[in-house]
Amino acid sequence: HTARLLLCLAIMSLVAYEDSDSEAETANTEDSDASGRQTNQLSSSVSCVQHFAPGSTKSAYEIHPAGSTSSSGRSTVCEDPPAHYALNNSTDLAPPSCQRMYSGHAALSVAYKNYEQASSSSTNFGNGISQKRAHKDSTTAIKGIRPYIPKRLRQENSSKPEKEESDQRGSSDCDVKLGVLGEQTSRKISELIKPYLGSKYKVTEVPKSLIFYMSKHSGPVNEIQWCPVQEQSHMLLSASMDKTVKVWDAVDTGCCLKTYSCHSCAVRAARWSSCGRRILSGGFDSTLHLTDVETGKQIFSSKTEFRISALKFHPTESNVFICGGFSPEVKAWDIRTSKVLRVYKAAVQQTLDILFLPEGREFLTSTDAVSRDSADRTIIAWDFQSAAKISNQIFHERYTCPSLTLHPKESVFVAQTNGNYMALFSAQRPYRINKKKRYEGHKVEGFAVGCEFSPDGTLLVTGSSDGKVFFYNYHTSRIIRTLSAHKEACVSAIFHPVLPSLLATCDWAGEIKIWQ
């Protein structure tokens, strides 16, 4: 009778195992808890453990976390359970929360090893259960499901793409920093500009109100320029003594789109190319850089023998530009060959500004050559093709001219002088001065104060060393309005080429303001 009773119990146990795995698992857990107290004591100090790395041959059930066990036999696991927990319908594996991840790899290996030994040596049925469960819940059964990754590793993996992008940006020739929505807004067409693209420029009015105040530069701003492409003319270029060149959205948001840190010293001059996709810059590090606006890579780069203070693109030949600075020579470069085309030599020490006359056959340079009685060579006219001097007896007063500007419709140009006035000249030979018109009232006082005509040619605007902006009537040479724009010297003021009466100004404190 005893033998028959044992045989019946064995058969009932097998049937119970086949019918209900959860009961066998509970019994196995209780047996392992009863026989493996050493494992529980070791794992009780671990509140949460890491799971095996992907590719492990262990089954999902065998790597059950060794957490703190409650009275119902449920284990405490992490808040972010592995994917195979979500696939298991057993309520005994429902994961509560835990406080934080444990990172002791040595303790984990001992805990897993003792746990496997206790599970395998509990009972004979335990071996069979372990083998069956391993076959049923093996890693091949959950193929395509991502295993659990600890929070620390997830943070490292999530930071890798950003690091790779930053490495790619850093590997370029120019350090480019994107501002707010820089990539998205640099090539857009502003909704404010669209209505004016197909129509003629209207009459310019004097700006009265401040629209944007931009102060990202940490040094004086030497030059600003609107993008020459009308569809992209919401972008404003600025060159600063803080060694950077910046591109701004000066129409819609007033945000800095991109910053280019290509130079090791102050950037004295920066110009847009005619296509609006490149920026030419030069500075006191004696280097020239032609930078791609989108990528920041160098299309053209060269080291010169002098510090650069003036740059201008040829009006018709987009691949040619002229460079001048602290040297008696002015050079014409071709960016396609990266070579100097022509050299224009004069007995001067520095070139202050460069101005191409209509059609680009001739150009003017203003220099620092001033004698006691006259100022010959202060403004020199050059033949672009032959590099010959056309005239060096244009301006005879004892003042240097830090900037030159051309009228948009008439064949005349204006020279800003250090005598605190602007002089008007003919753009035709022999470039005679108009003695009847003189635009005076502002102050220059040694600053490289720029001057500019409005797009319709009715107004002449200039900055002033006292921070004001002066608006002159071109025909009468009278002051129409004075705008108190800056606290420091205002070195540049330029009208927008498309939007009427929109003005950008910059000063010696690094501020840029947009007025309307």
Is the domain of 301 the same as that of 443?
yes
Q: How many angstroms separate the CA atoms of 231 and 304, rounded? A: 34
In a domain, 59, yes or no: yes
Is the domain of 409 the same as that of 260?
yes
Is the domain of 424 the same as that of 282?
yes
Q: What is the 3-state secondary structure (H, E, C) of 183-201?
A: HHHCCCCCCCCHHHCCCCC
The neighbour count for residue 126, using CB atoms within 10 Å, is 19
Which has the closest alpha carbon to 306: 286, 321, 283, 287?
286
Last residue of a domain, one of 119, 153, 187: 153
Taking the CA atoms of the chain, what radius of gyration do you get in angstroms?
39
Last residue of a domain, one of 417, 432, 463: 463
CATH number (domain holding residue 279) = 2.130.10.10
pTM above 0.75?
Answer: no
Query: What is the block-wise mean pLDDT of the chain (516 residues), using blocks of 10 residues?
Result: 75 55 45 45 38 36 39 39 38 36 38 44 41 40 59 60 40 58 67 90 91 93 95 95 95 94 94 95 95 91 93 94 94 92 91 94 90 73 94 89 95 95 95 94 93 95 96 96 95 95 95 95
Which has the closest alpha carbon to 309: 482, 455, 450?
450
Q: What is the pLDDT of residue 346?
A: 87
- Sign of the Cα torsion 301, 302, 303, 309 reads negative
Domains of the chain: total: 2
Is the domain of 262 the same as that of 379?
yes
The set of long-range contacts for 322-330, using a CB threshold of 8 Å and a minimum separation of 24, is 322/354, 322/363, 323/282, 323/288, 324/351, 324/354, 324/365, 325/268, 325/282, 325/286, 325/350, 325/351, 326/350, 327/351, 330/354, 330/365, 330/382
Is the domain of 451 the same as that of 335?
yes
Question: Helix, strand, or coil here: 121?
Answer: coil
176 Cβ contact list (under 8 Å, min separation 6) = 169, 258, 259, 260, 261, 295, 296
Is the domain of 148 the same as that of 235?
no
Is the domain of 307 the same as that of 414?
yes
For the record, the structure tokens of 154 come out as 């997830």
Is the domain of 272 the same as that of 359?
yes
Which has the closest alpha carbon to 512: 309, 237, 213?
213
Is the domain of 321 the same as that of 401?
yes
| 433: phi then psi, degrees, rounded to nearest 5 | -85, 145
Give yes or no for a contact between 472 and 167, defined as CB atoms under 8 angstroms apart: no
Q: How many CA atoms lie within 13 A of 408 on its CB side?
A: 13
Is the domain of 324 the same as that of 415?
yes
In a domain, 450, yes or no: yes
Is the domain of 142 the same as that of 259?
no
| Residue 58 domain boundaries | 14-153
Q: What is the pLDDT of residue 61?
A: 36
In a domain, 506, yes or no: no
In a domain, 8, yes or no: no
Last residue of a domain, one of 105, 133, 153: 153
In a domain, 317, yes or no: yes
Is the domain of 115 the same as that of 236?
no
